[in-house]
Amino acid sequence: MKKTLKVFAIIIGIVLVFLVYVQFTFKQKFEVPVTGIKASSDSATIAHGKYLVLGASHCYACHTNDSLRALKLKEPLMGGNVYKTPFGNFNIPNITMDKETGIGNFSDEQLARAIRYNVNHEGFAMAGFMSYNSMSDEDITAIISYLRTTTPVRNQVPEHDLNMLGKVIVRFLIKPYEEVQVSKVVPDSTAEYGKYFAYTLGQCNSCHTKRDKLGRFVGQPFAGGFEWDMPDAKYMSANLTPDDTTGRIAHWGEEVFIQRFRAGRLLEGSPMPWEGYQQISDRDLKALYKFFNSLEPVKNNTVTYVPKPKEPAIAEN
Ligand code: HEC
Ligand code: HEC
C-alpha cells in the first residue's frame, strides 16, 4: 500500500514538474531563413496587394473584426476576433499600420517571415491558421506593400489565452514551415496558374479537401466534404472535381463559373469568404476553372447546405 502511494506521489511529482516546465517554456523562438523581401511604393504592386489582402487571399476574413464584417466593411484589418478552440482562445492580431498595437513598427522582413514561415514578429512559431508559405516573392511583396498603406487603427489585441493542452501542443508540435517551396509563377489563365491560385493564393484546398479534427488533410484534393455546423445551417464544401454525377461544377461552363463568383454570397452563413472571392478577376477565374477541370474526377456527393429549423417565435409551455 505504502509502495503504491509512493509510486503515485512520484508520478504526480513528475507531471507537476512537466507542467511547470511547459508553462515557462511553451513559447519557442525559431530561426528561419532571411527572405530579403521589401515593400514597394509602386502603385500597380500596391493595387495587386490590395486585390490579394481584401480579395483572393482574404486576409480580411480573419483579421477584420466580426462586428465590422457584419457591416460588410473589409477594412481596416484591426484584428480582435477570437477563435475558440479546444486548446484555448486565439486572438487575431491587428495588422493595420498602427505603431503600438499593429504592424507599424514591424520590419518588412518580419512581415514576410510571418507569411512565408509562420513565425510572428517575435520569432515565435504560430499555430497553422495561415498557409501561404509557397507564395511567390512578388505576391508577398505586393501584400506587404499594400499593408504599408493601411490607415493605422489603435486596437490592442490581448495575447492568446491557451489552456495547458494548448501550451503542451505549442511547446512540442507547433513549428515554423521549414520545407518551403517558393513558387515561381507567371500570372495567366492556364491550369498551372489556377493550381497555384487554388492551393496558395486563394487557399481553396483548405476547405474543399476534407480534413480531420486536427486539421490534417484526409480526403481527395478538392473533392469537398469538409463540414461546418453554423447557427443557421449545416454547410459542407462542394466537390470541385469534374465528376459527372457528383461534381458541383462538372456541368457548369466557364461563363457560369465566372458568373457564380460575380454573384457573391448566396447563403448567409456560408463559411466561404465570397465577398473577397467575388472580386477575383476573370483571368484568374478562368485559370481556376481550367485547373479544377484538369483534376481526376472523384465521386463524392456533397450536400452543401442543410438549413436548420427556425426557433419557434413563441415558446411553447
Ligand atoms: C484563417 C484565418 C487567417 C487568415 C485568412 C489570415 N490570417 Fe494572419 N493570422 C491569423 C492568426 C490566428 C494569427 C496569429 C497566430 C498565432 O499567433 O499563433 C495571424 C497572424 C498574422 C501575422 C503575425 C502578426 C505578428 O504579431 O507578428 C501577420 C503579419 C498576418 N497574420 C498577416 C496575414 C496576411 C497578410 C494574411 C493574408 C495573406 C493573413 N494574415 C490571413 C489568422 C489568419
Ligand atoms: C473557408 C472555407 C472555404 C474556402 C476557403 C473556399 N470555399 Fe468554396 N465552398 C465552401 C462551402 C462551405 C461551400 C458550400 C456553401 C456555399 O455554396 O457557399 C462552398 C461552395 C463552393 C462552390 C459551389 C457554389 C454553389 O453555388 O454551388 C464553388 C464553385 C466553390 N466553393 C469554389 C471555391 C473556390 C474556387 C475557392 C478558392 C478560390 C473556394 N471555394 C474556397 C467553403 C470554402
The answer to whether the CB of 241 is under 6 A from ligand 2 is: no
Any idea which ligand is nearest the CA of 132? Answer: 1
Give me the amino acid identity at 160. H
Q: Where are the domains of the chain?
A: 43-172, 191-307
State which ligand 2 atom lies nearest to the alpha carbon of 288. Answer: 35
Identify the sign of the CA torsion 98, 101, 107, 110.
Answer: negative
What's the CA-to-centroid distance between 313 and ligand 1, angstroms?
A: 40
Please indicate whether residue 206, judged by its CB atom, sits closer than 6 Å to ligand 2. yes
Sequential pLDDT tens for the chain (317 residues) = 688 889 999 999 999 998 888 888 888 888 999 999 999 999 999 999 999 999 999 999 899 877 666 656 656 799 988 988 888 999 999 999 999 999 999 999 999 999 999 999 999 999 888 999 999 999 999 999 999 999 999 999 999 999 999 898 888 888 888 888 899 999 999 999 999 999 999 999 999 999 987 788 999 999 999 999 998 999 999 999 999 999 999 999 999 999 999 999 999 889 999 989 999 999 999 999 999 999 999 999 999 999 998 766 665 44
φ/ψ (deg, to 5) at 316: -85, 135
**What is the number of the ligand 2 atom nearest to the C-alpha of 267?**
18
- For residue 92, the ligand closest to its alpha carbon is 1
**Pick from 206, 202, 260: which is nearest to 51 by CA?**
202
Amino acid identity of 261?
F
Q: Which three-class secondary structure state does DSSP give residue 78?
A: coil
Could you tell me if the CB of 279 is within 6 A of ligand 2?
Answer: no
Instruction: Identify the nearest ligand to the CA of 56 by its number.
Output: 2
- Residue whose C-alpha cell reads 479537401 in the numeric block: 209
Whole-angstrom distance, CA of residue 275 vs CA of residue 54: 9
For 107, the grid coordinates are 520590419
211 beta partners? 217
Distance from residue 34's CA to the centre of ligand 2 (Å) = 35
The alpha carbon of 235 and the centre of ligand 1 are apart by a number of angstroms equal to: 24
Sign, CA torsion 225/282/77/96:
positive
Given this model, what pLDDT does residue 20 score?
Answer: 87
d(CA 292, CA 298): 11
Residue 57 beta carbon below 6 angstroms from any ligand 1 atom: yes
Residue of the CA atom closest to atom 36 of ligand 1:
59
Lateral strand order in the sheet of 88-91: 82-85, 88-91, 161-162
Specify burial of residue 245 (Cβ count, 10 A radius: 0-12, 13-18, 19+): exposed
Interatomic CA distance for residues 86 and 162, integer angstroms: 9
- Alpha-carbon span 280 to 274, nearest angstrom: 10
CA dist 157 → 27, 98, 101, 113 (Å): 18, 12, 7, 21
- Does the beta carbon of 285 lie inside 6 Å of ligand 2? no
Q: What is the maximal distance between C-alpha atoms in the chain?
A: 78
Neighbouring-strand partners of residue 90: 83
Nearest residue (by CA) to ligand 1, atom 38, is: 59
